Amino acid sequence: MRSERTATVLRHTGLAFAGLFAGFLITVLVLELSLRGFDGSVYTQVRQVELRRLDDLASATLLPALLTTALLAATTFRARGRTFWLTSTAFALLLTVLVTTLAFNLPINADQLDWTAQAPPADWTRVRDRWQIAHAVRTASAVLAFGLLTVAAAGTARTRVPDGATASDPAGPAVLRGAT
């Protein structure tokens, strides 16, 4: 019973953080795509404003999403059922986000901190495009991870019986199979 409560807390916490993170990435993607119509000066100014605190928000939502999803995958490992595979795949997608961020986005962010709005580098559009492609990859991965976690949570909720217990085997609890 205690492990089920732990799994429920992990499921809801992970779902909340993954959803917040995916929503944050979508918002940044919309902003970035809107910037494509502006020159290097405007792009540089907006990027430097973004870089002041948005990395903090990304860390504050991605890291708890990763941790809770990993713990949930570990708690469902023994059953190796649908919830485990959905959660494990979501975790892999969140790891993809982290690796993409570390390999592409953060190095570009660090470089852009040194840009000046009055004189952006000559290749600023190439750098912008690389950042936006990497961001699109991590946004798609985060949205898919959130979707998988949502499906896993919905599937878990569907297996609950009226008294709040969950079905522990594919056939469901003994009460539902007609046993007394």
> What is the tens place of the pLDDT at every residue in 112-131?
999 999 999 999 999 999 99
CB 116 within 8 A of CB 44: yes
Q: Which residues pair with 160 in a beta bridge?
A: 166
The mean pLDDT of 72-97, rounded to a whole number, is 93
The mean pLDDT of 84-106, rounded to a whole number, is 97
The mean pLDDT of 20-45, rounded to a whole number, is 98
The mean pLDDT of 49-73, rounded to a whole number, is 96
